[in-house]
């Protein structure tokens, strides 16, 4: 008799019937705006490599040189013998970049959010979260066993009503740039409410770092806020920075506390030192090659202007994330497949990643895109979506 626990065929078939089944493609070669995917060359409009640094010659050279110095792996957790001079230098440079006392490297943004929230909260505490927050923030709340209270997207009146009745230790958590909508959190109001109600504030700026702000400092720089306004700041290195990993930046005591208590920091192997070395070069390029952000904004404006002329239903966003709302999961999958057949790689985003009835094409741009490629995308969208 077959063990029913291992019956995965039925739920998998159900996902296929609901147009919610996910499949992987196999990529050959480096990350770029033209990808070799499953043996075909495709125009790539779904990468988070916003500044085009993932295959930058200087970043690659730094990685290769560091491999000669450090080898491939770190060998252990940071607290054992895995914390190299490359890691330490990157942490110091990230702290200076964000205008904070210290920074702490994590292996991924997901692990950073889980580690921070579960270290700072426990049973009897409260966590207040935007309903469209990234899954890692939700999972961090669940792991901490704090009481999770979610408010409607960017609804500061609803948040204030919740905070007014809170009698426990509280933490506010929000994306800085919402990864599926491309809009920004109302950061000034969040900072004001956190201060008013003596709550902590954690901002996940995975999709803002490198892209927003005059120096690429992200959503906090965009709003002109400080460490006092936003005490806990998380950023990732695998998007605009083009490498891998994540960091949390804040006050000295906060970082020291996380070193002691964040389980996803304590109990995992450190990033390879070569990744840290490559990230240091990326950090320099983010700050010095401002033309990348300028060109990115020009491409976004060109796309939005063309989409408006064609009546394409874009969500309101000035970031590289440009969601085109379709609604139905089956239809968005059909459109994505049509685009693929025409040589355009555009992700179809469906529940549970986004709320039911809001399936969309998540179109993203890189500083490496050309205007002619944006125009080609607009032309094909006009034909396929309508």
- 16 flagged as catalytic: no
Which tokens go with 12?
């998998």
Catalytic residue selected from 56, 87, 222, 239: 239
- 207 flagged as catalytic: yes
Which tokens go with 343?
């040589």
- 222 flagged as catalytic: no
Catalytic residue selected from 84, 174, 179, 329: 179
Catalytic residue selected from 83, 207, 295, 369: 207
Known catalytic residues are 179, 207, 239
């Amino acid at each position: 008799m077959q063990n029913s626990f291992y019956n995965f065929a039925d739920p998998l078939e159900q996902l296929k019937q609901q147009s919610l089944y996910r499949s992987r493609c196999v990529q050959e070669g480096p990350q770029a705006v033209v990808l070799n995917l499953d043996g075909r060359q495709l125009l790539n409009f779904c990468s988070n490599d916003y500044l085009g640094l993932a295959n930058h010659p200087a970043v690659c050279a730094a990685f290769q040189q560091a491999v000669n110095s450090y080898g491939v792996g770190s060998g252990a957790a940071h607290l054992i013998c895995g914390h190299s001079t490359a890691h330490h230098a990157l942490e110091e440079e990230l702290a200076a970049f964000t205008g904070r006392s210290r920074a702490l490297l994590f292996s991924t943004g997901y692990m950073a959010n889980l580690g921070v929230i579960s270290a700072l909260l426990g049973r009897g505490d409260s966590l207040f979260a935007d309903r469209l927050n990234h899954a890692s923030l939700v999972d961090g709340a669940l792991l901490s066993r704090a009481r999770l209270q979610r408010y409607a997207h960017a609804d500061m009146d609803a948040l204030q009503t919740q905070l007014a009745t809170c009698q426990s230790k509280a933490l506010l958590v929000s994306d800085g740039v919402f990864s599926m909508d491309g809009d920004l959190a109302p950061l000034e109001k969040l900072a004001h409410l956190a201060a008013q109600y003596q709550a902590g504030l954690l901002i996940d700026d995975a999709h803002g770092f490198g892209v927003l702000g005059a120096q690429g400092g992200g959503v906090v720089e965009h709003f002109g806020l400080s460490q006092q306004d936003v005490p806990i700041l998380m950023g990732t290195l695998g998007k605009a920075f083009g490498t891998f990993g994540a960091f949390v930046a804040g006050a000295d005591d906060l970082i020291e506390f996380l070193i002691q208590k964040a389980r996803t920091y304590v109990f995992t192997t450190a990033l390879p030192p070569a990744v840290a070395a490559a990230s240091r070069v990326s950090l320099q390029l983010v700050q010095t090659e401002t033309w990348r952000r300028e060109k990115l904004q020009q491409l976004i404006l060109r796309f939005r202007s063309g989409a408006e002329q064609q009546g394409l239903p874009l969500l309101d966003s000035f970031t590289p994330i440009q969601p085109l709302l379709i609604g139905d999961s089956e239809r968005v999958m059909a459109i994505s497949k049509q685009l693929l057949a025409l040589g355009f790689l555009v992700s179809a985003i469906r529940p549970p990643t986004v709320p039911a009835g809001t399936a969309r094409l998540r179109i993203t741009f890189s500083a490496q895109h050309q205007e002619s490629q944006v125009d080609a995308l607009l032309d094909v969208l006009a034909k396929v979506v309508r």
